[in-house]
Amino acid sequence: MNTAKKSWVIIIFVLVILLSGLFTSIYISKKIDRTQRVQLLKDAKQAALLVPASTVATLSASQSDVGNPLYAQIKNNLMLFRSYNSSNRFVYVLGYKPEIKKQFFYVDSEPVNSKDYSAPGSIFPDTRQKDIDSYFKGEAYTDGPYSDSWGEWISAYAPIKDSDGSMVALLGVDAATSVWHQQIGFVRTVVGIISVLLSIVVAFVISFIHKKDRSIEFLEKENRTLVHTEDKLKEIQNMAQIGRI
């Protein structure tokens, strides 16, 4: 194997390894995203069980709810639920006001003194048409990544329905996209390091094999030279013997 051929072999192997690493990283990243969304949706559905439709129906979505024991009970449930998983930043219950085409907060999981606290009845200013459409579908779903007034999120929503199956409210759970990015970034870093190290090992092995082949070729050449020299010596000896005769 000559030097040029060896270089091309190394380049091809390294490209194959790096491309395999890239596709592996993409595959694992997508799998992590799907798994996280499934888990987030599961969290939303579980949290929705803590908010009975009959209790939501007693709320006025105004400041007067703050003194309502049922409001306090829901808020406490949501705060406890959020504390079980640090990846979930916000848990809240949304309603919808058709006259202004905006969603609003019935209750959230933030303490009253938090800068992110949403008072009962406060409007969700970043309501999108797709949010409204999804609200009336009455189905659990995930959304994001998207940005709103609080940051960038991936969210899961679960409907809260009355006994007739009509929509009463929507339970939402927000997870910061930074959590997604950290996990996916970690996987990509690990796969990248493995790919680079594997490329170095392959390049070293190919170089070692190339040097070994060259050594073998050199020894074979030397051996042929010695054989040729030995034949010449024998021929000279034979001629000398004939000359003496």
What pLDDT, on the 0 to 100 scale, is given for residue 51?
93
- Supply the pLDDT for residue 53: 92
pLDDT at 176: 84
Provide the pLDDT for residue 210: 63
Instruction: Check residue 224 and give its pLDDT.
Output: 64
- Mean pLDDT of successive 10-residue stretches along the chain, which has 245 residues: 64 76 78 85 93 91 90 94 88 92 93 91 90 90 86 92 90 85 75 77 71 61 61 61 60
Q: Whole-model pTM above 0.75? A: no
Helix (H, G, I), strand (E, B) or coil at 93: strand
Query: Can you give the pLDDT at residue 11?
Result: 74
Q: Which long-range contacts (CB under 8 A, 24 or more apart) does 73-76 make?
A: 74/50, 74/106, 74/107, 75/107, 75/108, 75/109
Question: CA 102, 36, 55: angle at the middle one, nearest 5?
Answer: 45
How far is it, in rounded angstroms, from Cα 232 to Cα 228? 6
C-alpha atoms less than 13 angstroms from C-alpha of 74 in its C-beta half-sphere: 27
Task: Report the pLDDT value the prediction gives residue 244, as an integer from 0 to 100.
Answer: 63
